[in-house]
A and B are shown apart, each in its own frame.
Chain A
Amino acid sequence: MYTAADLISFETEVAQHFAAASIKSPVHFSGGNELPLIKLFQEIKRTDYVCSTWRSHYHALLHGIPRARLMADILAGHSMNLNYPDSRFLSSAIVGGTLPIACGLAAAGHRVWCFVGDMCASLGAFYDAVHYASGHRLPVTFIVEDNGLSTNTPTQDTWGEVVCKNATWSKPIIRRYAYTRTYPHVGLEQRVVF
């Protein structure tokens, strides 16, 4: 199992490659959420499905994707679409796109963990998936990774007043943790010349 230092070290290495312009694709770095993820993945079995997003490096490492293989794929430009069918690891760069897929996998009898951001958790697609999964008692857990931002926009500002429960919904199949990201939405703070 990885420690927080291990995860940070991995992402720091990726950042060094990115800063050197050796990764020819966008990279969404993970950071600031090491401890909640390490704790969460203690519950997630390797036989479970993990559905992730465009920011998936930590999820992939913690689900058992070999460090060297993951690094190679990121260096090859696949950071936004890291997928490992043999390890039951799926990611998508479409907001909320994996929500129904997670439900389908769960309906087929698999234990599924589906990661989303706080903007996604405030959308209708999230309501649909949670509504359906709860109603059919599907073995899926939705994890809301709440950094308060959607790309660089404060999520709550876009909605105005909180008039809908969706954003703060509490259901047994929803887990939520808050964190402050240590990297920008995409890339690094510095400009990289390719």
Chain B
Amino acid sequence: MRMLADDPRTKFIGQSVCYDGAAIYESLEGVPMEKRLEMPVIEDFQLGYCIGLALAGQVPVCIFPRMDFMLLAANQLVNHLDKLPLFGWKPKVIIRARVGTKHPLDAGPQHTQNYKKEFDLMTCSVQVREVRTAAEVKAVYREALAGSGSYLIVENVAC
């Protein structure tokens, strides 16, 4: 995340990004507070808001602590982030979605699902990637920052 934070265009947006107590907060160690924006629990709005920032030239890193919650943002992902490039816009949003762990604690069926395949099938311009190791994480985020267009990066450390 520090590598992303070094880019002046990025901003880290989501829940628990500014307030300690959740794993997402810990994962943002080294990211300056002025580059973070805490959101209400408002997934569809959060991604739409990030699209707006992106249309203005920023590169939001839109964070969902569980991929299950991303279903509530599917509208903005599929209907806008994915389709606006077809209408001439060039938004760049990096979506970071975590698959909930099942070990040592099983977070249950509403907090552990991986919808990578489904989102891949529903999108045509957004690049969907799944990462499982630290090395993959670094490489894919580097690719997402340097590449054109938007990325959905599924962090699956549970498998």
Contact = CB atoms under 8 A, between A and B. Distances in A.
Interface of A: 81, 83-85, 90, 92, 94, 97-110, 125, 128-129, 132
A100 B47 contact: yes
Given A94-B75, A100-B47, A104-B53, 8 more contacts: A97-B79, A100-B46, A100-B51, A101-B48, A101-B80, A105-B52, A108-B57, A125-B44
Interface string B110-130: 000000000000000000000
7 contacts: A94-B80, A100-B46, A101-B48, A101-B80, A104-B48, A108-B52, A128-B42
A125 to B, nearest CB: 7
A-B residue pairs, 7 tightest by C-beta:
A104-B52, A100-B48, A108-B56, A83-B87, A104-B49, A105-B52, A101-B52
B45 interface: yes
B84 A83 contact: yes
B101 interface: no
A108 B88 contact: no
A105 B49 CA distance: 8
A83 B49 contact: no
B79 A92 contact: yes
Nearest to B39: A132
B88 A100 contact: no
Interface of B: 40, 42, 44-58, 60, 75-76, 79-80, 84, 87-90
The DSSP consensus for interface residues of chain B is: helix
A108 B54 CA distance: 9
Contacts, number: 82
A84 B56 CA distance: 14
Contacts of A132: 40, 42, 45, 49
B49 A107 contact: yes
Contact of B56 (A83, A98, A109): A109
A184 to B, nearest CB: 24
Nearest to A51: B52
B56 A100 contact: no
Given A85-B88, A103-B45, A132-B40, A97 B52 contact: no
A110 B53 CA distance: 10
Contacts of A100: 44-49, 51-52, 76
Contacts of A92: 79-80
Contacts of B52: 100-108
Contacts of A128: 42, 44-45
A98 B75 CA distance: 11
Given A92-B80, A100-B76, A104-B55, A85 B45 contact: no
A170 to B, nearest CB: 22
Contact of A97 (B56, B80, B90): B80
Contacts of A101: 48-49, 51-52, 55, 80
A100 B40 CA distance: 13
